Chains A and B, each alone.
Chain A
Amino acid sequence: MEKQSINNENIINAYGAGTQNGFEALYQAYYNDVFYFTLNLSGDAHGSLDITQTVFMKAFGEFNKKNISDVRNIKSWLFKVAVNEFYQLRRSYINKIKYLVKNIFRFIDKETEIHSEYIEKKILEEEKNSLGKWLLQIEEKDRIILVLRYYDDLSYDEISAILEIEEGTVMSRLFRAKEKLRRLMENEAE
């Protein structure tokens, strides 16, 4: 897959043309964002890869149908789908079973397994005593906002649209999450 010069305008133009290149531009531009976003939420590389793949499968489906109505907010749309997938995986028993079955098939699909293991190992090495560990100790709904605000650099307005909650709620949850993170960081530093 060739690297392209990517900007939002390219994606929108390519999307308008409805070509495979358009989707590739979108994929190249946002794959890492979506993957690390879900990784920050779940702390699990395997699960994050699954969610990321599902998000882009949905995007590809919508892309082919030319159905993404607000293409200028494509990143927000992808994040919204990722959040929904994350919650679905956590809440739905069917999805948990699907996830388990998929994990069994990882024994067959060894190559994917090796790459997932590599990523997980690297991330654990990098973050065994820092962000990843702290994030998992923050309540899920607060963690999402913290990640969207500080890791993905989104505005209150965008976060509010992604999570479909009031901006005021975003601010109060963010405040709570920051307090918790600050305490964790202080405990670590002591």
Chain B
Amino acid sequence: MKLNNDPDQKIKEVFSNAALRRQNIDIEKIKNMQFKTITAKESFATKIIWLAAVILIIYLTYASTNVSNGNFKKSGAFDISVFEELPMEKPQENKSVRPPDFLFLLSAFLLEGLILFYMIKFIDNIITSILLKFSHDKFKTIHLIC
């Protein structure tokens, strides 16, 4: 079967039909998601958050090895003396237990908050994606938690 005499017209029709069919495809959601990604001003902020997280982890490791024996203020980050053998504590000695300082508690709180936030976000993504898989058209605007 030969196509009609104006192949140019036929080609135009094929392309315009494809364009028309594509109008039924919903790309708005992903378009909006990409827009948010592109215009997000958090790229620098994200770096800062991750830097803070790394510092907090180092700090917590450091603090947890020192805070219990009361040497925290004495020793620096590279002070290996904390690893040296310490005199055995006498069990009967009435040692005053030094409570964790404010910075330690704040760091722990922030780090736990950060981890919790990402965990919730991850769970939210999984639930949302399951719902989207179930019915894209029905749940396309849903986002359960964040």
Contacts and interface: CB of A to CB of B under 8 A. Distances in A.
Question: Are both chains from one complex?
Answer: yes
Interface of A: 1, 20, 23-24, 27, 31-32, 35-36, 49, 52-53, 56-57, 60, 108-116, 118-119, 122-123, 126-127, 130-132, 150-151, 178, 181-182, 185-186, 189-190
A151 B18 contact: yes
Contact of A52 (B3, B15, B34): B34
Interface of B: 1-3, 7-8, 10-12, 14-15, 17-19, 21-22, 24-27, 29-35, 37-39, 122, 125-126, 128-129, 132-133, 136
B25 A110 contact: no
B33 A115 contact: yes
A119 B129 contact: no
Given A115-B29, A189-B3, A131 B15 contact: yes
Contacts of B2: 186
Contacts, number: 104
B125 A111 contact: yes
Consensus secondary structure, chain A interface: helix
B33 to A, nearest CB: 6
* Listed residue (B19, B21, B25, B29) with the most chain A CB atoms within 10 angstroms of its CB: B25
A181 B128 CA distance: 42
Consensus secondary structure, chain B interface: helix
A49 B34 contact: yes
Contacts of A36: 19, 22
Contacts of A20: 39
B129 A114 contact: yes
Given A1-B35, A56-B38, A126-B22, A118 B136 contact: yes
A123 B25 contact: yes
B15 A32 contact: no
A32 B33 CA distance: 14
A186 B128 contact: no
Contacts of B32: 1
B18 A131 contact: yes
14 contacts: A56-B34, A108-B122, A111-B129, A118-B26, A118-B132, A122-B24, A126-B22, A150-B11, A178-B7, A178-B8, A181-B14, A182-B3, A182-B11, A186-B3
A79 to B, nearest CB: 16
A129 to B, nearest CB: 12
